[in-house]
Chain A
Amino acid sequence: MLRILALALAFMASAVSAQETVIVGLSQSNVAITANFSGSDILVFGAVKRSGELPADASPLDVVIVVEGPLQQVTVRRKEKKMGIWVNIDSVDIDAAPSFFTVATTAPLDDILPESLQREHAIGLEYAVRLPEQDLDAETETFNEAIARIRVANGLYSEREGAVNFSQETLFDTDIELPANLIEGDYTTKIFLIRDQEIVGQTSIQISVRKTGIERWIYNLAQEQALLYGLLSLLVALVAGYGASEIFRRLKG
């Protein structure tokens, strides 16, 4: 009897611990910002690898994919009417707001994952911007919401429920649209497997976004050799001004 029980326990344990790991790939892991950069579409695809058998009554698996741009310090300002005109009256400094943020899921987020876990893993628009715990009052919350609202309007933040294709609980893919107004840096792509309101597997992969060619050269020059850059800008202006004057003088003459 004891042996049967032990065997049953062992079997259950193996069923529960049926390991599910994620394997992920990207259609491209490097994005080059060139002069004619107009955004980029990246296919995130992957598979769920299982070791061991799943119980027949296991509830369905969901996949959530989060892509997050480099974190930036930002200042959010609020306008109010003072003496008849609209002016910035107060501001909140936010230490870590991703420059880009998108969440793609197989099902509505609130149906598959409790709020505490969404917050902990920064899944979902409300949690894109990291606020220090002690600052979580209603006031900062409105500034936080403002960032998400403005960036959703600019196409920098998005939440796309049901945008992940998931077939036979194994293969998944989704398209990530990186907009043209992209800044440089590492874009972290996180993939979460979710079952029964729990995260049962996760992995992450980087997309590297870099200015290249002339964009890279101009940007570096402006930052590192500011005086030379300023002088070159003036030289270009003077040459263009002289050139235009000469060309049109000859056309007239």
Chain B
Amino acid sequence: MQIYLPIAEVSVNIFLLLGLGGGVGILSGMFGVGGGFLMTPLLFMIGIPPAVAVATEANQIVASSFSGVLAHFRRKTVDFKMGSVLLVGGLVGAAIGVQVFKYLKSIGQVELLVTLTYVVFLGIIGSLMFVESLNAIRKSKKPGAVYKKKKHNWIHGLPFKMRFRTSNLYISVIPPLLVGLLVGILAAIMGVGGGFIMVPAMIYLLGMPTKVVVGTSLFQIIFVTAFTTLAHATQNFTVDAVLALLLLLGGVVGAQIGARIGVKLKAEQLRILLALLVLGMCGKLAMDLLIMPSELFSIGPGGH
């Protein structure tokens, strides 16, 4: 059954969209990420114009993160203070990102920039996660191994220190602001919530305890992606409500199924699978840049 998307102005199979939403939802439920980094490139592949895919995906992430954060909220695993600091950085970043996106759209390089940021970030995160989880698996096989103590690094020398009770941290606000800013820019440009970069940054850079990381990340992602959605809707007119609704219906169901599969796997196994998934997507996008495309020309909307 075909459905005509009013903003994208293309006709797509309704079950393809529900299936796509469901499939990505399962993965996001399993791994605790938004799944935007998978969904946006997949939307490009089924012929949704890139500008619409990026803006609409931001809207869908609002739904999935809100659904997820409610569970963390009940378990009291959301650090609102840390989330708010990240959010301040995130909103500024998102505002910058939407402007950058608008400018690149006008000079025709938006596709390249989106693909490049994807390749770089998926590559870095994927490799780091892969190595880390491989080490974790090795360590778990040697029961005598001792964990290294938390390092006291340069981050602790920065000024403007603040106490984050839920995270049990006393650190400068500069690193979380910068992390928020960076993720905000990425969220606007890539149409992702940035969970796949926010979660490792919170664990390894800020030293937050793992149990509050996912909830706090989701908490601030809601606001950043909501802001991104509004900015794209009012400046680029590219949010497709019908597309968002279909993806989100599949997504929320998939996420619940994924969460149940996730419970049955070990944490290291989950992380290594996610790492492989991230690296696979990175490889696919890198190949697109390196291999000669079958059609060298492309048609875009005119006007400046």
Residues of A at under 8 Å CB distance from B?
33-39, 72-81, 84-88, 91, 93-95, 97, 143, 146-147, 149-151, 153, 180-181, 183, 211, 214-216, 218-219, 222-223, 226-227, 229-234, 236-238, 240-245, 248-249
* Complex contacts, A80 vs chain B, CB 8 Å: 296
CB of A229 within 8 A of CB of B300, answer no
* Interchain CB contact under 8 A, A77 and B108: yes
Q: Assuming the A-B contacts A91-B108, A237-B62, are A227 and B233 also in contact, with contact meaning beta carbons closer than 8 angstroms in the complex?
A: yes
Inter-subunit contact A241/B300 (CB<8 Å): no
User: Which residue of chain B is the closest to A239 with respect to CB atoms?
Assistant: B63
In the complex, which residues of chain A have a beta carbon less than 8 angstroms from the beta carbon of B303?
73
Determine whether the beta carbon of B4 is less than 8 Å from that of A34.
yes
Contact call B70/A181, Cβ cutoff below 8 A: no
Residues of A within 8 Å of B248, CB to CB, are 237, 240-241
Question: Is the CB–CB distance between A227 and B230 below 8 Å?
Answer: yes
When the two chains form their complex, are residues A241 and B252 in contact, meaning their CB atoms are under 8 A apart? Answer: yes
Tell me which of B6-14, B200-208, B274-282 binds A.
B6-14
Asked if B145 CB lies within 8 Å of chain A CBs, one says no
Q: What's the Cα separation between A91 and B107 when bound, in Å?
A: 9
Could you tell me the distance between the alpha carbons of A134 and B290 in the complex, rounded to whole angstroms? 37
With the chains together, A216 CA to B4 CA distance in Å? Answer: 11
Complex: A170 Cα to B303 Cα, angstroms? 45
In the complex, chain A residues whose CB is within 8 Å of the CB of B291: 86
Q: Distance in Å from the Cβ of A121 to the closest Cβ of chain B?
A: 24
Q: Which 4 A-B pairs have the closest CB atoms?
A: A73-B302, A230-B233, A180-B11, A241-B66
Give the CA-CA distance A238 to B64 in the complex, in Å: 9
Residues of B within 8 A of A150 (CB): 295, 297-299
B217 at the interface (CB under 8 A from A): no
Whole-angstrom distance between the alpha carbons of A211 and B281 in the complex? 36
If A75-B299, A181-B10, A245-B67 touch, whether A237 touches B60 (CB-CB below 8 Å) is yes
Residues A240 and B6 in contact in the complex (CB < 8 Å), given A73-B303, A150-B298, A245-B70:
no
Say whether B239 contacts A240, CB under 8 Å: no
Does B153 interact with chain A (Cβ within 8 Å)?
Answer: no
Q: What residues of B have a CB within 8 angstroms of the CB of A151 in the complex?
A: 299
Q: Contact at A74–B252, with CB atoms within 8 Å? A: no
User: Assuming the A-B contacts A88-B298, A233-B229, A241-B252, are A79 and B2 also in contact, with contact meaning beta carbons closer than 8 angstroms in the complex?
Assistant: no
| Contact (Cβ within 8 A) A37 B2 | yes
Nearest-neighbour CB distance to chain A for B18, whole angstroms, equals 13
Chain B residues near A216: list those with CB within 8 A.
6
- Provide the B195-239 mask, 1 if CB < 8 A to any CB of A, else 0: 000000000000000000000000000000010011011100101
- Interface CB pairs A-B, < 8 A, 5: A222-B7, A229-B241, A236-B245, A244-B256, A245-B71
Whether a CB of chain A sits under 8 angstroms from the CB of B267 is no
Q: A37-B11, A86-B289, A218-B241 are in contact. Are A238 and B296 (CB under 8 A)?
A: no
* Contact in complex: B298, A240 (CB < 8 Å): no
Query: Given the interface contacts A81-B292, A86-B289, A180-B2, does A232 sit within 8 Å of B241 by beta carbon?
Result: yes
Identify which of residues 169-190 in chain B touch chain A, using a CB-to-CB cut-off of 8 Å.
none
